Amino acid sequence: MRVDGKTLALRTIEREDMYRLWQLKYGEENPEWKKWDAPYFPHNRIDFETFQTQTEVRLSADDVPSMLIMESEGQIIGVVSYYWEDRPSLWLELRSTARSIGAGVTERRL
């Protein structure tokens, strides 16, 4: 799956994207994006192998991708995703790499 806009593209996550995604979310002790994230979500770093396993499990769980990469100028800058808070009532939550509602960019240069 791929959706291209003028300055941003959303696409399916591939296995070779995993390390870059881990770097953006867990590569730093105190990442810049966390300053803008909800303070009630602690930033608990995990190692790459754990991240990769958790992400692969999540990506294989649904027919429709629940997580897409955000790219700008061919560079991965973050992730937009959703999860069902309560499927029977159709309560769907949208979040970003930073775990906030909406889409978040985690690359500093943007």
Q: How far apart are CA 109 and CA 77, in angstroms?
A: 9
pTM over 0.85: no
User: What CATH number labels 2-96?
Assistant: 3.40.630.30
What are 77's two structure tokens? 């800058």
Domain range list for the chain: 2-96
110 residues of the chain, pLDDT tens digit each: 888 888 889 999 999 999 999 998 899 888 887 877 777 878 899 999 999 999 898 888 776 778 899 998 899 988 888 877 888 888 877 766 533 334 555 555 55
Q: How far apart are CA 83 and CA 81, in angstroms?
A: 7
Please identify which residue in the block is written with the tokens 């996550």. Answer: 13
Residues whose CB is less than 8 angstroms from the CB of residue 80 and which lie 6 or more positions away in sequence, other chains included:
10, 67, 68, 70, 94, 95, 96, 103, 104
